[in-house]
Copies of this chain bind each other. A is one copy, B any other.
């Protein structure tokens, strides 16, 4: 799971007139070691468990800041909680999309067809961007459905 790129953040923040502080470093570090869809709560308690006493407010503010600066992606799988993950470059090998179980909220990252998807996306992005005069920065692709566990449970019930 090594999502490197530890350096560079400092620079990215600096360029936006922001300081690199302990809490910010710790939060980014945590996200980089857990390359997946974390909620504010997830992060807050995970850090608390590692004896890092960072306020909930700071977590919220840090994450929002990172989103504004394109370092993180924010999305919602339908449970009303915002989720954050490193904004992997479209071409990076860590880039992925999500399969979301609408029963239990399980999220599966996949990048099986990423290449084909990306190819189409790039084309679509370019043309939509021109047609609607819209600067496209990012995309979200989510498949919603029922995971194998929930399907099993459902069979048992019926």
Contact = CB atoms under 8 A, between A and B. Distances in A.
Nearest to A131: B112
Interface string A100-114: 011000001010110
A128 B117 CA distance: 13
A117 B112 contact: no
How would you classify the secondary structure of chain A's contact residues: helix, strand, loop or mixed? mixed
Interface residues of A, number: 41
A127 interface: yes
Interface string A138-158: 111111111110010000000
Contact of A117 (B120, B129, B142): B120
A50 interface: no
Contact of A145 (B113, B124, B135): B135
Contacts of A137: 102, 144-146
Contact of A134 (B82, B101, B129): B101
A87 to B, nearest CB: 10
The 10 closest A-B pairs by CB, nearest first: A76-B76, A133-B148, A136-B145, A140-B142, A138-B144, A135-B146, A137-B145, A113-B124, A135-B145, A136-B143
Interface of A: 74-76, 78, 80, 82, 99, 101-102, 108, 110, 112-113, 116-117, 120, 123-125, 127-129, 131-148, 151
